[in-house]
Structure 1
Amino acid sequence: MSSFLHITNGDITTGILKNLNIKGEIITWREMLCEGKTTADVGSEDFWKTRFDFFSNVYQVTKKTFIDFTLKEYRNLCKQNQDEIILWFDYDLFCQINMLAVVSWLKKYRKGSKITIVHAGASGNHIGHLSKEELANLYLNRTQLSQDDIEYADYIWQLYCSDSPLRLETVHKFNPSSPFIYLSDAINAHLKRFPSIENGLNKIENNIIQAAHKADLKSENELVSKLLKEQQVYGFGDIQYKNKIKELRNLFSSLNPVKLSEDGIQLLNNQINYYRELRSDFSYLGGAKKYSYLYMNANDKLLKLTS
């Protein structure tokens, strides 16, 4: 009989699969590779050192937490060698980038394995929101990845981890037969995370000040809840939005209730540019420095800045 390994996008999905009594081992991929610097060599010592440095510096994650939460589960993955590997990842940027990394790792360390993907939830419909019947049906109709599919995912991952995002602008659009049906939208969302030429804020940062201005919000938690509902293409959690709000603290005169400062109002109307205030050489999106590129809203293109 065939043996199965399920790799999930998080603990919620892992819990759901256990309740479904689906056969096979389950590994939870506990990472958020859509944030912070990444290197292409998934699972290497350099890869994990780079990731720990990010989590430690930005989210004050201790080494023990990182080992217990992420590395132990990864080491468990390394011990698995089943006949079929099934990927359970949502449509959003958070999940799609993690998925690319997992496929890249499988290409290198599980060469020749049968890899299938569950298209679990169209835009706006996460795995955790689906009924048992819907999930069982999606599982039965999972798609097997061809070698070309695996090579393609690995190539997109290599580009994501490169020091330039420019190739991503075009290459992700020209594979209409790809089974990665949510990847194009996720990469588009990724490219809009580079600072806008209009005011120096990226798409997410502009979304934050727009949401803060439009609604009568009594607290930071209300602002975060609004962002979680409205910005689902990113798949961010509350901890990520709170970190973003902290970075933009000078754009708020108050967070209880939520009110923009004078700078926040001017940025909202593109009357000033905040690029210089936010610029950091230590801020990365994948392998690229966030502030080495500008997003040109008029033509949806990236512009490389010369140093």
Structure 2
Amino acid sequence: MTQNKTLHILNGQAMFNYYEETHFLEQECMVPFNEAMCFGGTSDDLFSPEFIDIRANVHHVTPEQYTEHTLKPLQPFFDKEFSHIELWFDADMFCQINLITILAWLDQADYKDAVDIHIVGEKFKPVSDFTERAGGYYSIYKQVLIDKTMPVNILPAPIKKGIELYLSYLSKDSDLVLYIQEHKDVPERELVLALINKFTDYGLGDTQYLEIIRNQRKTV
């Protein structure tokens, strides 16, 4: 492990690009986590061939494309080329489920040191910080993303809220699903924009919303 080197993991390419353009964290090692773990299935064997196959299928890409887009940027993370980790994630559900996935991998890799977590807001500016240890997060990942159950542990507030939203957002009586059903005559693209603007706590993008709309309209 490289001594005295901090690795900054950012929630996605947009944040990575913005930080590069604005010279934020300049001279630091930054990598994006290009995923949407709150959407679609997953595997309890993180970043394994099975995981890659499942997630590639969710995103409608080949395993090779998934590896290039999502795993290749994370190589310093997998190679443990760092002595300290800082995570930069929004407070919404999308980002918090991604955050749990990163912490779960660190737990599985037996990473013992404290991790600094920055919650960001508008224009990716940090609004709050907390420190966590990864221990226990692999179990939380399995409970939440595999078993779809709420952990008993009291978690930091943003993570807890993200889990609560994740476990309910596709249920038939969720505010999101009901809104889609109530607007069944609205064109897809128009409805996607409305959902992005209305349901900011979910943090979902147009790709996920389009798929949710189509799935809902199929079942009606």
Helix, strand or coil for the counterpart of 1:14?
A: helix
| Alignment counterpart, residue 185 of structure 1, candidates 126, 146, 161 | 161
Helix, strand or coil for the counterpart of 1:65?
A: helix
Per-residue CA deviation, residues 1-43 of structure 1 (Å, 9 max, x unaligned), is: 8321100101121123222341421111111111111122212
Amino acid at match of 1:3: K
Amino acid at match of 2:144: Y
- TM-score, length of structure 1 as denominator length: 0.62
Per-residue CA deviation, residues 99-139 of structure 1 (Å, 9 max, x unaligned), is: 00100111232623341101223xxxx4x354xxxx4xx5x
Amino acid at match of 1:192: S
State the alpha-carbon separation in 2 of the partners of residues 64 and 48 from structure 1: 9
Q: Is the contact made by 1:96 and 1:183 (CA closer than 8 Å) also made in structure 2? A: yes
| Alignment counterpart, residue 204 of structure 1, candidates 160, 173, 176 | 176
Tell me, yes or no, if structure 1 residue 158 matches structure 2 residue 145.
no
State the alpha-carbon separation in 1 of the partners of residues 29 and 171 from structure 2: 42
Q: Is the contact made by 1:83 and 1:114 (CA closer than 8 Å) also made in structure 2? A: no
* Aligned ranges 1:88-237 → 2 under 5 Å: 88-109=88-109, 111-121=111-121, 126=122, 128=123, 130=125, 135=126, 142-145=129-132, 147=133, 150-163=134-147, 165-166=148-149, 168=150, 171=152, 175=154, 178=155, 180-196=156-172, 202-211=174-183, 219-237=187-205
Amino acid at match of 2:82: Q
Q: Is the contact made by 1:30 and 1:69 (CA closer than 8 Å) also made in structure 2? A: yes
- Number of positions where the alignment pairs a residue of Structure 1 with one of Structure 2: 216
| Alignment counterpart, residue 23 of structure 2, candidates 20, 24, 38 | 20
Cα offset, 1:203, TM superposition = 4.0
Tell me, yes or no, if structure 1 residue 240 matches structure 2 residue 212.
no
Per-residue CA deviation, residues 233-274 of structure 1 (Å, 9 max, x unaligned), is: 111101111112222335xxxxxxxxxxxxxxxxxxxxxxxx
| Runs of 4 or more above 4 Å deviation | none
Q: Is the contact made by 2:170 and 2:176 (CA closer than 8 Å) also made in structure 1? A: no
Whichever of the two has the greater Rg, that structure is: 1
Cα gap change, 1:110 to 1:86, in 2 (>3 Å) = farther
| Alignment counterpart, residue 41 of structure 2, candidates 37, 42, 61 | 37
Q: Is the contact made by 2:96 and 2:158 (CA closer than 8 Å) also made in structure 1? A: yes
Per-residue CA deviation, residues 170-211 of structure 1 (Å, 9 max, x unaligned), is: 62xx52xx4x32122222212223533xxxx65432122335
Cα offset, 1:66, TM superposition = 1.6
Cα gap change, 1:52 to 1:190, in 2 (>3 Å) = same
Amino acid at match of 1:181: A
State the alpha-carbon separation in 2 of the partners of residues 24 and 190 from structure 1: 32
State the alpha-carbon separation in 1 of the partners of residues 24 and 162 from structure 2: 31
Tell me, yes or no, if structure 1 residue 53 matches structure 2 residue 57.
yes
Amino acid at match of 2:131: Q
Helix, strand or coil for the counterpart of 2:98?
A: helix
Query: Match for residue 290 of structure 1?
Result: none
Q: Which moved more, 1:5-14 or 1:16-25?
A: 16-25
Structure 1 portions without partners, runs of 5+: 251-276, 279-307
Query: Match for residue 7 of structure 1?
Result: 9
Helix, strand or coil for the counterpart of 1:248?
A: helix
Cα gap change, 1:39 to 1:63, in 2 (>3 Å) = closer
Amino acid at match of 1:224: V
RMSD: 2.6
Structure 2 portions without partners, runs of 5+: none
Cα gap change, 1:142 to 1:159, in 2 (>3 Å) = same
State the alpha-carbon separation in 2 of the partners of residues 144 and 152 from structure 1: 14
Per-residue CA deviation, residues 62-112 of structure 1 (Å, 9 max, x unaligned), is: 344323211322334323421211001111111111100100111232623
- TM-score, length of structure 2 as denominator length: 0.84
Cα offset, 1:231, TM superposition = 0.7
